[in-house]
């Protein structure tokens, strides 16, 4: 059990939420939803006591262990994969390390012997002897091959690090599991495995996600953060959507009825208050009028940014050709003899399970890595802009959002850039906060702003939809459909691909590829028949 009692949280003048009273109990999985920047990650940090509330309390049973999903992929660079998982249960890990230290001690005393005995019994009580095999089971379940388990974190690819951190959070049957966007960066098999794990998990789970399919699968409850309120609904995501729409509609209908009634009463009072024979009725109607209260129809923080890309100059016919392009990562060929000819009207979705191949190709196209062999030939008219999957490095400095973006704008006037930020939902004070405190989705909105200002005629986007709320995904989708230049992109959003792409490329595991001028749905049909 974990409970928020009269909790409020403010950053400076801004209230994220206020008056929150919620109890989370065993056996339930709570989906925490809300727009980008509404305060989901912050709420999880408040629950885990990583940050303090402005007022109010978080109440837990002292014996219960809270486990969280770490967000920093480079936190454990010098530790072994298997140890990072076991560290999920910090108490057990400490005992293990202390034991190792004592066993290695040269001047082992009687006192050490007693201490070791105590540690051993505590260790056994915690099922310590099973820790390694439990950790290995979680890793393998998530698709991390045994060959990785003894490697150092810094030597494994990012896609594996994501899974190790997830295994760490799940390790040792925590009482309360707090997961912030756990499906980001997971392949489809790992995602399905996680769904099963959470469905079968018997303790308390609170999970933040923008993935409606995932939320529908795993959640028994939905907790919605919108405009300073945190509201609990029983049921999954679809049920939340239907019932919240229904509540809004009922409130609107009831307000409309009340407004008609108010108008009638006001008319009566205006006509008859001066009339002696009717003044009594007018007075009683005044009393009725005072009692009618309209329902508070608050706005929503779910808003659509205005995303559009305008190229400074048109692309000529000659865009991009690759000749016999081959690229290896850690000695394995991920791109194998790629011969592409890109037209100036192409919007290409890179699909399939081989994410590494796509990220590698994108990096090679922007010159971040050098191919083993082959050529990349760019047309003279091309002006490209790139959205890397991992863009954390952009946001390390303590800079205001406004200053960060001015840096990328040709027009340096503050007024212009502030206007631009406003349409990207950073209005007023929001554009003056530090880029360091931005939420995941806000960082993506910044990156997209930077690309919009670049005037590029060729956009390369590596999973831009990962952290975005549904409103921003829709705006980005429309913005790219209306864009006149070329788009090379990867996303997990089916509808996004279907409505945008006119060409599909899929890399196989051996680096070979399929390249078809078609829509996504047609491609999936063709593939069935292949």
Ligand X SMILES: Nc1ncnc2c1ncn2[C@@H]1O[C@H](COP(=O)(O)OP(=O)(O)OP(=O)(O)O)[C@@H](O)[C@H]1O
Which residues lie below 8 Å from residue 399, measured CB to CB, with a gap of 6+? 434, 435
Query: Footprint of Mg ion on residues 471-490 (CB under 5 A)?
Result: none
Point out the residue whose Cβ comes nearest to ligand X. 441
Closest CA to 321 of 357, 365, 387, 351: 365
Instruction: For residue 440, state whether it binds ligand X (rule: CB under 6 A).
Output: yes
Based on the shown chain and the rule CB under 6 A, indicate whether residue 149 belongs to the binding site for ligand X: no
Site membership for ligand X, residue 433 (CB under 6 A) = yes
Q: What angle (nearest 5°) sits at the alpha carbon of residue 523, between those of residues 521 and 529?
A: 115
Residue bearing tokens 């009580």: 125
How many whole angstroms from its chain centre is CA 185? 10
Of residues 454 through 483, those in contact with ligand X by CB under 6 A are 467
Which residue sits closest to Mg ion, CB atoms considered?
A: 41
Taking the complex as a whole, the smallest distance from the CB of residue 191 to Mg ion amounts, in Å, to 18
Token couple for 289:
């009028």
Contacting residue, 31, 37, 352, 371, with ligand X by CB under 6 A: 37
User: Which residues 23-62 are close enough to bind Mg ion by CB under 5 A?
Assistant: 41
Binding mask 374-413 for ligand X (x = CB under 6 A): ----------------------------------------
Residue 38 binds what, of Mg ion, ligand X, none (CB under 5 to 8 Å, by partner type)? ligand X
DSSP secondary structure, 304-327, as one string: --------SS---S--EEEEEEEE
Residue 306's binding partner out of Mg ion, ligand X, none, with CB under 5 to 8 Å set by partner kind:
none
Q: Which stretch binds ligand X (CB under 6 A): 38-46, 90-98, 388-396, 489-497?
A: 38-46
231 belongs to the binding site for Mg ion (CB under 5 A): no
Question: What number of helices (H) and strands (E) belong to the chain?
Answer: 17, 18
Partner from Mg ion, ligand X, none binding residue 442, C-beta < 5-8 Å depending on class: ligand X
Q: Name which of 52, 9, 22, 32 is nearest 205 in CA terms.
A: 32
Distance CA 446, CA 525 (A): 37
> Which 3 state secondary structure label does DSSP give 20?
strand
Considering the rule CB under 6 A, would residue 438 count as an interface residue with ligand X?
yes
Residue with tokens 């509404």: 38
Q: In the complex with Mg ion, which residue's Cβ is closer, 75 or 437?
A: 437
What values do phi and psi take at 443, rounded to 5? -60, -40
| Whole-angstrom distance, CA of residue 160 vs CA of residue 142 | 9
Cα distance between residue 200 and residue 194, in whole Å: 10
- Spatial distance between the Cα atoms of 328 and 505, rounded to a whole number of angstroms: 19
What Å distances lie between residue 524 and 95, 513, 515, 518, CA to CA?
A: 52, 15, 12, 10
* Residue from 33, 69, 20, 27 nearest 48 by CA: 69
2-21 residues in contact with ligand X (CB under 6 A) are 11, 16
Binders of Mg ion among 425-464, rule CB under 5 A?
A: 439-440
Smallest distance, Å, CB 512 to ligand X? Answer: 37
Nearer to Mg ion, 44 or 488 (CB): 44
Stretch that binds ligand X, among 98-106, 435-443, 457-465, 501-509 (CB under 6 A): 435-443
In angstroms, the CA 127 to CA 123 distance is 6
Q: Judge residue 45's burial from the number of C-beta atoms within 10 Å of its C-beta, 0-12 exposed, 13-18 middle, 19 or more buried.
A: middle
Nearer to Mg ion, 41 or 498 (CB): 41
Tokens 């997209």, residue located: 448
CB 208 within 8 A of CB 237: no
Q: Which residues contact 501 (CB under 8 A, 6 or more apart)?
A: 347, 348, 349, 489, 519, 520
Name the residue nearer to ligand X (CB basis): 384 or 450.
450
CB of 458 to ligand X, least distance (A): 27
Size of the site for Mg ion (CB under 5 A): 3
172 is a contact residue toward ligand X (CB under 6 A)? no
Among 31, 34, 56, 388, the residue binding ligand X under the rule CB under 6 A is 34
Closest CB to ligand X among residues 309, 426? 426
**Residue 258 binds ligand X (CB under 6 A):** no
Minimum distance between the CB of residue 76 and ligand X, rounded to whole angstroms?
22
* Of positions 39, 88, 464, 511, contacts ligand X by CB under 6 A: 39
- Taking the C-alpha atoms of residue 42 and residue 178, their distance in angstroms, rounded to an integer, is 12
CB of 228 to ligand X, least distance (A): 12
302 binds ligand X (CB under 6 A): no
Check binding of 439 to ligand X (CB under 6 A). Answer: yes
65 or 212, CB closer to ligand X? 212
- C-beta of 213 vs 433, nearer to ligand X: 433
The answer to whether residue 450 forms part of the interface with ligand X (CB under 6 A) is no
Residue 268, C-beta contacts closer than 8 angstroms, at least 6 positions apart? 281, 282, 285
* 485 interface partner picked from ligand X, Mg ion, none, CB below 5 to 8 A per type: none
191 binds, among Mg ion, ligand X, none (CB under 5 to 8 A by kind): none
Name which position in 29, 33, 36, 223 contacts ligand X (CB under 6 A). Answer: 36
Name residues whose C-beta falls within 8 Å of residue 240's C-beta, 6 or more positions apart in sequence.
33, 222, 224, 233
Q: Which of residues 324-343 bind ligand X (CB under 6 A)?
A: none
Burial label, 144 (beta-carbon count in 10 A; 0-12, 13-18, 19+): buried
Nearer to ligand X, 346 or 493 (CB): 493
Instruction: Give the interface with Mg ion as residue ranges (CB under 5 A).
Output: 41, 439-440
Contact footprint for ligand X (CB under 6 A): 11, 16, 34, 36-42, 433, 437-442, 467
């Amino acid at each position: 059990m974990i409970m928020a009692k009269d909790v409020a949280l403010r950053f400076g003048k801004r209230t994220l939420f206020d008056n929150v009273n919620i109890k989370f109990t065993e056996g339930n999985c709570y989906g925490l939803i809300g727009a980008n920047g509404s305060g989901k990650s912050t709420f999880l940090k408040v629950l885990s006591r990583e940050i303090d509330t402005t007022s109010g309390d978080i109440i837990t049973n002292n014996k219960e262990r809270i486990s969280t999903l770490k967000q920093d992929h480079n936190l454990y660079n010098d530790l072994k994969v298997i140890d990072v998982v076991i560290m999920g249960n910090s108490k057990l890990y400490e005992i293990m390390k202390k034991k190792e230290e004592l066993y290695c001690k040269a001047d082992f005393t009687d006192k050490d012997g007693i201490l070791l005995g105590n540690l051993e019994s505590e260790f056994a009580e915690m099922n310590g002897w099973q820790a390694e095999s439990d950790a290995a089971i979680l890793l393998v379940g998530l698709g991390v091959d045994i060959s990785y388990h003894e490697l150092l974190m810094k030597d494994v690819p990012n896609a594996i690090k994501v899974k190790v951190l997830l295994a760490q959070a799940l390790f040792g049957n925590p009482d309360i599991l707090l997961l912030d966007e756990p499906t980001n960066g997971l392949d489809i098999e790992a995602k399905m495995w996680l769904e099963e794990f959470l469905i079968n998990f018997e303790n308390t789970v609170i999970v933040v996600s923008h993935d409606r399919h995932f939320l529908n699968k795993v959640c028994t409850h939905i907790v919605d953060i919108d405009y300073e309120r945190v509201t609990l609904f029983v049921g999954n995501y679809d049920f939340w959507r239907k019932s919240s729409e229904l509540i809004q509609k009922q409130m609107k209908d009831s307000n409309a009825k009340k407004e008609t009634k108010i108008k009638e009463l006001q008319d009566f009072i205006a006509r008859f208050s001066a009339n002696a024979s009717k003044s009594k009725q007018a007075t009683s109607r005044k009393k009725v009028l005072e009692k009618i209260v309209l329902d508070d129809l608050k706005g929503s923080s779910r808003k659509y940014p205005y995303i559009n890309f305008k190229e400074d100059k048109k692309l000529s016919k000659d865009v991009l050709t690759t000749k016999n392009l081959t690229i290896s990562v850690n000695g394995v060929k991920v791109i194998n003899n790629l011969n592409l000819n890109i037209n100036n009207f192409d919007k290409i979705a890179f699909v399939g399970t081989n994410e590494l191949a796509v990220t590698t190709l994108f990096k090679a196209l922007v010159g971040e890595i050098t191919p083993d062999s082959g050529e990349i030939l760019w047309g003279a008219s091309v002006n490209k802009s790139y959205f890397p999957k991992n863009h954390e490095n952009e946001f390390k400095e303590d800079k205001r959002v406004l200053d960060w973006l001015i840096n990328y704008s040709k027009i340096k006037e503050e007024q212009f850039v502030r206007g631009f930020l406003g349409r990207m939902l950073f209005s007023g004070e929001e554009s003056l906060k530090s880029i360091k405190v931005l939420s995941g989705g806000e960082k993506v909105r910044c990156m997209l702003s930077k690309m919009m200002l670049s005037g590029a005629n060729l956009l390369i986007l590596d999973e831009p939809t990962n952290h975005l709320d549904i409103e921003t995904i829709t705006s980005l989708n429309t913005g790219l459909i209306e864009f006149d230049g070329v788009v090379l992109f990867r996303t997990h959003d089916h509808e996004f691909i279907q409505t945008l792409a006119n060409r599909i490329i899929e890399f196989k595991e051996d680096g070979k590829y399929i390249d078809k001028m078609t829509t996504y749905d047609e491609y999936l049909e063709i593939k069935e028949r292949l």
